[in-house]
Amino acid sequence: MKNNNIFNQTEIPKKIFDDRWVKFAFGPQGTVKSKNLNLGIVNFDENKVSLTHKHNVEEALFVLSGKGKIKIGKNIFNIKENDFVYIPENTNHCISTEPNSKVRILFIFSGEIIIDY
């Protein structure tokens, strides 16, 4: 990696969790250590359910590929490639995938984030 202003997602290491892997581009865990901007890619394999969690900031998602479901508060929505999703601050949410579909999502937060599981 030559420059923190411009880099390719292939240069970002995967952080592997039980329910997903994440490539953090910007944020406290990111390639660029930013305090108020969090952006990256998250991938859920087939037949997974993410941990239900919430943040103290709003979140925007863009589905890069695949299809699945997202639970936001008490509502469940189908998601698919090219969908935008808005999650209000302090709202529980989780993502689930189906037996034959992975989901890859671009996420962005603005502001210093605290995640509550």
Give the CATH superfamily of 44-102.
Jelly Rolls (2.60.120.10)
Rg (CA), the chain: 14
Task: Kindly list the domain boundaries of the chain, sorted by start residue.
Answer: 14-40, 44-102
pLDDT for residue 4 is more than 80: no
Question: What digits encode the pLDDT tens for the residues 64-113?
Answer: 999 999 999 999 999 999 999 999 999 999 999 988 999 999 999 987 77
Are the C-beta atoms of residues 86 and 62 closer than 8 Å to each other?
no
> Helix (H, G, I), strand (E, B), or coil: what is residue 70?
strand
- 77 neighbors 67 (Cβ within 8 angstroms): no
Burial of 67 (0-12, 13-18, 19+ CB in 10 A): middle
Please say if the pLDDT value at position 117 is more than 60: no
pLDDT of residue 72: 98
Tell me the per-residue pLDDT of 29-44, one tens digit each, with 9 for 90 and over.
899 999 899 999 999 9
